[in-house]
Amino acid sequence: MSGGLLVAGTTSDAGKSVLTAGICRWLHRRGVRVAPFKAQNMSNNSAVVVGADGRGGEIGRAQAMQAAACGIPPDLRFNPVLLKPGSDRSSQVVLLGRAVDTVTAGNFRTLRPRLATTAFEALAELRTDYDVVVCEGAGSPTEINLRDTDYANMGLARHARLPTIVVGDIDRGGVLASMFGTVALLDAADQELVAGFVVNKFRGDLELLRPGLDMLTQLTGRPTYGVLPWHVDLWLDAEDSLAYGRVLGRPAPPKGGGWLDVAVIRLPRVSNATDVEALATEPGVRVRLTVEPAEVAAADLVVLPGTKSTVADLDWLRRTGLAEVVHAHVAAGRPLLGICGGFQMLARSIDDEVESGRGRVAGLGLLPIEITFGAAKTVTRSVGTAFGSVPVQGYEIHHGYVSGADPAPAPLIHYSDGRPEGAAVGHLFGTHWHGAFTSDRFRRRFLTEVARLAGRHGFQVAPDTSFAAARERTLDLLGDLVEEHLDTTALWRLVEQGPPAGLPFVPPGAPPAPAPAQRVPRR
């Protein structure tokens, strides 16, 4: 059996995903055969993985990124349970890549044994195939009202005897209290596995923080393995950090004489908004995720991204007045792009008995197409060409499909077998493909066309921007931060030897078990 480690967090978005990726990259550079694992992820940001049977399946994007940090292709076992929220009360259950059910607070306890068994079996297989498996927890391990059904945090650690480190985001404040509380609200058997802490996103003089870390060690009997600094270049594949009004990355100065401003509307159930991160790697392209009408109105290119709830998010677009802003943008002759659910919104009508159960509803009416939702879910990787002969590849995850068109719009993309996909009608673009902009030549050609249509004649694409290289730089940076700022000797000892013996109990421990939980676990 191989070594293992669980990276838990004081909260969602504490830094579990990036720390897991950094540890994976550090181990990979040491020549260790390492794999990532997350028993359960709750996210609408997913990646398509081709399974052993040749069919496409879904895992969380973070686990695909972590696989890249390990230098290995993604595997459905890396994220055996993926919950994709369709509303505040229900989520689609993706089990080993396949959508199998819908989970609610009412039926989670019924489904839990099947989900836990699948997760435990996947981890056991990985631990026979790899030297080390670095596991990422879900949310906080101290959601005491959910502990009896947990199989993603301490339930996983206890099942597999995994040493556990707890990461906290100091940028949020209260990190020492949250670290202490995380341990103090676990029962004795769980506390035996929690070996220590990592502080994330620190800015300032470390000597000012050190006395607090020393006191935390005195209170808990557990060390802090290191303090990771906040770093401006860590933004690619940050699935939990798509904040309103945020400009992605650090836009490099333009190559030509002008900038290109891109506004991506942050839909309530946005999915795979990471599609636009590739645009943000281009010099002179400023990409903002926003819900502000003024920012949308001022943009050169407006993007309607993917969504897990096309009809519901279309309603939201209308209620907020953003639909009117989108129509005005199009009426002014400026470019608009819809991706997957955002593409479906551009249709004349949407017939959905599957996702929303609403039947036929009016779309934005910007493209002469009809969309119908089918029970079968398209999950596949795709290859083709665009703009004549420009190669492009991506992936598809959708129930909706184009069921009618009058007249048929010119396609944006042709599949490798010649079939048309999406639409390119004047200044309107749409596609069901995610990930297309990671294809460098396609991205440059698309941005060149957008700049022409938007009248940004001074804008020029860079001839040598490589998205794959940008992602590798990010992963190497994560590995560098782990090597430079964490006690890697102590981490390796945890991986090799397991939980340290004799860790003290921190009172009061877990309270008595509550009545059955009435909500679905968070990420």
What percent of the chain lies above the pLDDT cut of 90? Answer: 82
Averaged pLDDT, 482-511? 96
Per-residue pLDDT at 19: 97
Q: pLDDT by residue (tens digit) across 143-164?
A: 998 899 999 999 999 999 999 9
Cβ(236)–Cβ(280) below 8 Å: no
The mean of the pLDDT values for the chain is 93
* Most confident region among 89-93, 103-107, 273-277, 476-480 by mean pLDDT: 476-480
What percent of the chain lies above the pLDDT cut of 70? Answer: 96
Per-residue pLDDT at 89: 81
Distance, CA of 409 to CA of 388 (rounded, Å):
16
pLDDT at 443 over 70: yes
Please say if 340 is a catalytic residue.
yes
Provide the 8-state DSSP code for 17: H
Per-residue pLDDT at 235: 77
Provide the 8-state DSSP code for 308: S
Distance, CA of 123 to CA of 459 (rounded, Å):
49
Q: pLDDT by residue (tens digit) across 456-494?
A: 999 999 999 999 999 999 999 999 999 999 999 999 999
Q: What is the amino acid identity at position 433?
A: W
3-state DSSP of 159-177: HHCCCEEEEEEHHHCCHHH
Cβ(100)–Cβ(94) below 8 Å: yes
At 521, the pLDDT band (50, 70, 90 cuts) reads low
142: Cβ contacts below 8 Å, ≥ 6 apart: 181, 182, 185, 186
* Run of H or E including 38: none
HSE-CB for 427 with a 13 A CA cutoff: 19
Cβ(403)–Cβ(360) below 8 Å: no
pLDDT at 395 over 60: yes
Per-residue pLDDT at 512: 81
Per-residue pLDDT at 205: 93
At 52, the pLDDT band (50, 70, 90 cuts) reads confident
Distance, CA of 137 to CA of 330 (rounded, Å):
44
Distance, CA of 409 to CA of 112 (rounded, Å):
46
Please say if 434 is a catalytic residue.
yes
Q: pLDDT by residue (tens digit) across 397-409?
A: 999 999 999 999 9
Distance, CA of 121 to CA of 39 (rounded, Å):
10
Per-residue pLDDT at 518: 52
**pTM above threshold 0.75:** yes
Domains of the chain: 3-223+487-497 (3.40.50.300), 246-466 (3.40.50.880)
Per-residue pLDDT at 273: 81
Averaged pLDDT, 163-191? 96
Q: pLDDT by residue (tens digit) across 261-302?
A: 999 999 999 988 889 999 999 999 999 999 999 999 999 999
Per-residue pLDDT at 240: 53
Annotated active-site residue in 28, 329, 399, 434: 434
Cβ(130)–Cβ(31) below 8 Å: no
Annotated active-site residue in 340, 427, 432, 485: 340
Per-residue pLDDT at 241: 47
